[in-house]
Every structure is written in structure tokens, then in C-alpha cells.
Structure 1
Amino acid sequence: MDHRTLIASLPTETKFALIARSDSAGLRHLGLYGTALAACTIGILLQVPLWPLLILPQGLLLVFLFTLSHECTHQTPFKSRWINEAVGHACAIPIALPFVWFRYFHLAHHKWTNDPARDPELAGKPRPDSWPSLLAYLSGWFYWRGMVQTLLQNAFGRIDAPYLPQRQHAAMRREARVLLALYGLGTLSLIYSPLLFWIWILPVLIGQPFLRLYLLAEHGLCPPVANMLENSRTTFTTRIVRFLAWNMPYHAEHHAFPNVPFHKLPQFHTLTRAHLKSTSDGYAGFTTSYARAMHRDPIRSSSG
């Protein structure tokens, strides 16, 4: 059964229940997430005992704002559109991910999921197929370089990707210029104080490899087919990881029915589990499988 057949088989009342959005569920999750981030930030600023140990969780909480931004592009974390928009734009600042641009980039990814020629997440480039390329990918170098190029292109160059609607070009140009201005001010502040280095720059650099590994599992080793239950992976993991990633380890479910908000994905998973084609038992398990596939068949690991 493919994802279209599965969704069509669901009773109408079930589908309506699954896509019901909730400000309270989203704000509750955001409140807990924000509390954890604030606690780490304050601990670093006050240099509490063993405060350097807080840099890793700080980095994880910052870089995994990507998953919240991603959800906001779908307008699903919160019922109120304005909250989704405000949170999406706020997430852009610490991770250099312009929200308006990312919305259309991500919609194109959903349309052409895992298609090597048309999925903009691949952009004609293979996934890591050797240890040097895997280490370079996990370092986050390609992400940071790509985001700098995107911001500069959107701010001062020509916006010409076919999936970016012309009516949004002005908004993309404004958001890129605002973000660049903020980063310029942040850079200047380092002359007077190293605070931003300890609570933002170093943490996001340290946290990025964990996000890259998480993202690699979403579609790595999955075939380039149209069935979302096959071209996307669900990873069975801990409650902490699911919390950090806003339940996006249920990734095949998300691609099968993107209108389902994060807090309903576990419920939707009970309806899809028997039909999932690509799954892994934890991210360590996926990494082991990827390393073996890379060693055994580099072409499969890079295109799958």
C-alpha cells in the first residue's frame, strides 16, 4: 500500500481528527523547549559549576530549531497562523535559515522527495559516499556555506530558483537583508564581549553534526520512488529525541500526510506502522547501516 491509498482508506472523521491543530499543544511544547534552552543559556552566562558541559545541550537545542522552523512552514505546530509565522521567523535567526525562502524550498522537497534531479535538498548532488565526504557533511560545512550563499544571493543577487514564486521575491530579499544586518551587529559585539560566542556560535557549531546525522536518516538509503512510505524513513528512537525534533523521527508519516501536526504524528503512526517500507531502530542503527552500505555500494548510499 502506498501513501495515497493509505490516506484514501482512512474514514473522513479520522482524517479530520488527525489534522486538527492546537495552539495549546504547540505552546506547551514550545514552553518546555524554551525553558530548557533558557536554562542552558543562563547557566553558561552565569558560568555555573561545570558550565562548559552545557554547551552541547545548548547547541542541540539551537540547531534542532530547524525542525520547528520546518513544521512552521507547514503551519501545523500552532492553530493560529500568526504564531506559526512569528515562530518561524524567530527560528531563522540562530540557525541562519530564512523562513520565507525555506517555506518554498521545503514545499519543493515534499513535491519531489528523494528525486536526485528535482529534490532541492539534493540539488543534483549525491549524499556522502565515502568517509571523507561523510565527515565533511557531518561537520555542517556545506550547510553553513550554503546558507551564506543563499542569504547573499537573496539579499543582493538574482532570485531565480524555479520553486521560489516571484510574488515572494521582495519578502525573501527583505528577510535576507535583515538577517545579514543582525549577523553584522552580532559580529561587532564580539569585539566588546565573547558572550555570543559561548551561548550561540560555539554551541551551533558543536550541535550541527548531530542535526546532520538526524537529517541524513530522513531519506538516506531510501529509494527514489513516489511512495512516501518508502522514500522517507521513520526512526524508532527515544522520547527525548522525539521531543527535541518535534516528533519528526516519524518522518514517513509526516511525508505521507503533511497536514498532521507534530502532536498527532504518534497517533497517525499507529495507522501507518504496518505499511512503512523504510525504518531504523535508532540513529546508531541507521548510521551503522549507512556505513555498511557506503562501504559495500557507494552508488547506493549516495543515491538512495
Structure 2
Amino acid sequence: MVFVPKTVQPDPLIAQLRQTATLQQILQTIPKHCFRKDALKAGLGLVGNVLFVALGYWALAVNPWLWLQPLLWIFTGTALTGFFVLAHDCAHRSFANSRLINDLVGHLLLLPLLYPFHSWRIKHDQHHRYTNNLAWDNAWTPMAQEQFPVLSGFLQGLYRMARTWGWWLASIGHWALLHFKPSLYKEGRDRRDMQFSVAVVLAFALVLFPALWLYGGLWAVVNLWLMPFFVYHFWMSTFTIVHHTLEEIPFYQEEDWNPAVGQLFSTVHCRYPAWVEFLCHDINVHIPHHVSTGIPYYNLRAAHAALKASWAEYMHETEFSWSLMQRIAARCHLHDEQGAYVTFPDTYTAR
């Protein structure tokens, strides 16, 4: 009996899409009005988000009922995820026409999350240029099946955790390991921008944590920063893994990848509870954002409808649920030579 790892085979529609359209042709099916920035909508979204975050922090500070505190952590952390989404538009220059405004607003919105704006912007741009490309994508890229067995037991354990039950913590590792190390950034402007943003974050942290400690000691740090931070990373990890991870969506070897397949076929539209989509500015409507990062968040739904009218057979849609996360955690671990998903070595089946 020969044992082989369970492998999910890629969809034959991939080859069909390669022959059918270029990314430019797909882009042309989105109406021009979807690319227009609206300063009023952007401003209202920003002001509303600031008010929700302020309300969350105020409630956390004055709430007398301990049983209510977890719900307030969830609300505040989700509203902070909205901060990240607006900063995400700033990074793509789709929030405002002014580069200065985009950079200023982006830095300010990411401060409570201790994210260095330029560091994240530069690495995130790489993800967009090479979505689901095994050689270059830096977001949830699965490890090759032959690499996993040679890792130390400790590293195998960390990787297993990130791809299974601990997926919601994985973005913390991504944040800590990818955004504070100058050697990961090209010398010149990229590195200078990265170092500036890191300096801003460190300066903010040197004010934030002593102030919280003086205000309420360890409980203030946990209550007003750490728990909302964990909730934010739950959503950050969940959004980002679901954006490009289903069993039927492979990662691609560099020679097999092209932009149409990477951005349209390999991006997932996922429906979440309405309150999450509202507080997080429709970041779940993700396919049009990958077809063009120039679409502001408030136009994503119109752009998605236009794409569905022309390309529905190549688009993936799903709904957030624990069964969805269990399916991803059970099947999407490693990749084979073609980039299709393979489960971990201890889940073997006879064929």
C-alpha cells in the first residue's frame, strides 16, 4: 500500500481564465465612477470610525459590569480594525488625492495598533503585485511539503498552530517579524520611509504604555490596549487568510502565475455579519480591490457587482462561519509542486 498526502487539485477554470482575459480586460469591465474618490464619503467614514473607537474606549474605561467587558473588547477591537482598513486605503492612495494627507492619516490611524505605516504599505504592495505567487507573495504563503519535515520541532509547532487552531494569532507574528527589520527593505527611500514609521510607532509606545500604567496600572494596559489588540488581530488574521485561501484556490509557481489568475480567480469575496462589514468598511468585498487598488472602499460593492456581471464563473464567494474556518484549518496547510494544497504529514490516507 502506498501512502500519499491528501492533495486538493486546482480548478480547471484557471487554465481557461489564462486564455480568456488579461487583468487589463477585466479592469475595463468596472465602471469609471467606481474609481472616483469622494472627499465627503471618506471624511464621514473617518469621523464615524473615530467616534466608534472613542465610544469603545470610553465604555471600557467606565463600564462597572465585568461580564460586559468582553463584548466591549470585541466592539472596540472591531472598530480599530476599521482604522486599519482606512489606513489601508491611505496606503493605496485611494483615500485622498494628496500624498501628504494619505501618509498623515495612515500614520495616525495605525498608531493605536502600533503598526508602522510605511513598513506595512511597502510589504502590502508586494502582496498585491504577486498575489498567490509562491516566489513573491508574503501573505499566508503555504510552505512546500518537502520543507516542513526538516524544520525543528519548535518551528513545526509554530507553523502548525498558525495554519490550524491558532490562525487568529498569525498576524501578530507577521506584524512583529516583517515590519520592524530594516534589512527586509531596499536601501534608499523604502528603508528611510520604513525607519521613519518605526520611529513614530516607538515614540508613541513610549508615551502610550507609561500613560496607561499611570492611569490604571496593569489592568489599564490589558483592558484598554491588549484585549482590543487581540480582537483586532483576530479580524486581521481572519480577513487575510480568507481573502485568498480555499481548498480550490492554489498558490502558483512563478512560471504558472499571471495577474488575471492571481487577482480575480485567487481572491475570495466573503460575507460577514452586517455589523462587522459596517465597522470594517467592506474590506470583505475584496475581489475588486485586487483587480484595482485604486477603488475606494465605499465603491467596492458597485465594482463587485460589475465584475460579477462579466466574470462570475471565475469568482469565489463564501460566507464566514466556524465551519469555513475549520475547513481551511483542516486542509490548507502545505503546497505540492504545482502549488495545490496538501495537508500536514500526519494526516495520510491510502490511495
Tell me, yes or no, whether TM beats 0.5. Answer: yes
Deviations, residues 147-177 of structure 1 (Å, cap 9, x unaligned): 33445423xxxx343xx46223223212212
- The CA distance in 1 between the partners of 2:62 and 2:129, in whole Å, is 46
- The CA distance in 1 between the partners of 2:197 and 2:172, in whole Å, is 17
CA contact (8 A) 1:59 1:206 kept: yes
1:29 is aligned to 45
2:266 is aligned to 231
Given residue 319 of structure 2, which amino acid in structure 1 is its aligned partner? G
CA contact (8 A) 1:186 1:196 kept: no
**Structure 1: gaps spanning 5 or more residues:** none
1:86 is aligned to 104
- The CA distance in 2 between the partners of 1:175 and 1:207, in whole Å, is 20
- The CA distance in 2 between the partners of 1:298 and 1:209, in whole Å, is 24
2:88 is aligned to 70
Aligned partner (choices 35, 40, 59) of residue 43 of structure 1? 59
CA contact (8 A) 1:234 1:251 kept: yes
**Structure 2: gaps spanning 5 or more residues:** 1-19, 146-157, 252-256, 344-351
Are 2:306 and 1:268 aligned? no
2:34 is aligned to 18
1:113 is aligned to 131
Are 2:165 and 1:135 aligned? yes
Q: SS state of the match for residue 288, structure 2?
A: helix
1:290 is aligned to 328
Deviations, residues 240-294 of structure 1 (Å, cap 9, x unaligned): 2322332221211111122111111111111111414342331116325424534
- The CA distance in 1 between the partners of 2:331 and 2:163, in whole Å, is 14
Aligned partner (choices 159, 175, 195) of residue 147 of structure 1? 175
Given residue 203 of structure 1, which amino acid in structure 2 is its aligned partner? P
Given residue 24 of structure 1, which amino acid in structure 2 is its aligned partner? L
Structure of greater relative contact order (alpha carbons < 8 Å, 6+ residues apart): 2
Given residue 169 of structure 1, which amino acid in structure 2 is its aligned partner? R
1:281 is aligned to 318
Are 2:258 and 1:242 aligned? no
Given residue 325 of structure 2, which amino acid in structure 1 is its aligned partner? T
1:214 is aligned to 239
| 1:51 CA drift (Å) | 4.5
Q: Indicate how the Cα distance of structure 1 residues 236 and 51 shifts in structure 2: closer, same or farther if over 3 A, else same.
A: closer
Deviations, residues 109-130 of structure 1 (Å, cap 9, x unaligned): 1111111221122467479985
| 1:91 CA drift (Å) | 2.2
Give me the identity figure in percent: 19
CA contact (8 A) 2:285 2:301 kept: yes
Q: Indicate how the Cα distance of structure 1 residues 152 and 217 shifts in structure 2: closer, same or farther if over 3 A, else same.
A: closer
CA contact (8 A) 1:98 1:176 kept: yes
Given residue 222 of structure 2, which amino acid in structure 1 is its aligned partner? F
- The CA distance in 1 between the partners of 2:85 and 2:125, in whole Å, is 14
Q: SS state of the match for residue 281, structure 1?
A: strand
2:16 is aligned to none
TM-score with structure 1 setting the length? 0.82
Q: Indicate how the Cα distance of structure 1 residues 171 and 210 shifts in structure 2: closer, same or farther if over 3 A, else same.
A: closer
| 1:69 CA drift (Å) | 1.9
Are 2:227 and 1:202 aligned? yes
- The CA distance in 2 between the partners of 1:253 and 1:27, in whole Å, is 22
- The CA distance in 2 between the partners of 1:294 and 1:6, in whole Å, is 28
Q: SS state of the match for residue 72, structure 1?
A: helix
Q: Indicate how the Cα distance of structure 1 residues 146 and 217 shifts in structure 2: closer, same or farther if over 3 A, else same.
A: closer
Given residue 48 of structure 2, which amino acid in structure 1 is its aligned partner? L
TM-score with structure 2 setting the length? 0.72
Q: How many residues align?
A: 290
Given residue 101 of structure 2, which amino acid in structure 1 is its aligned partner? I
- The CA distance in 1 between the partners of 2:180 and 2:294, in whole Å, is 32
The structure in which a higher percent of residues are helix is: 1
- Tell me how large the CA RMSD over aligned residues is: 3.0
- The CA distance in 1 between the partners of 2:85 and 2:291, in whole Å, is 17
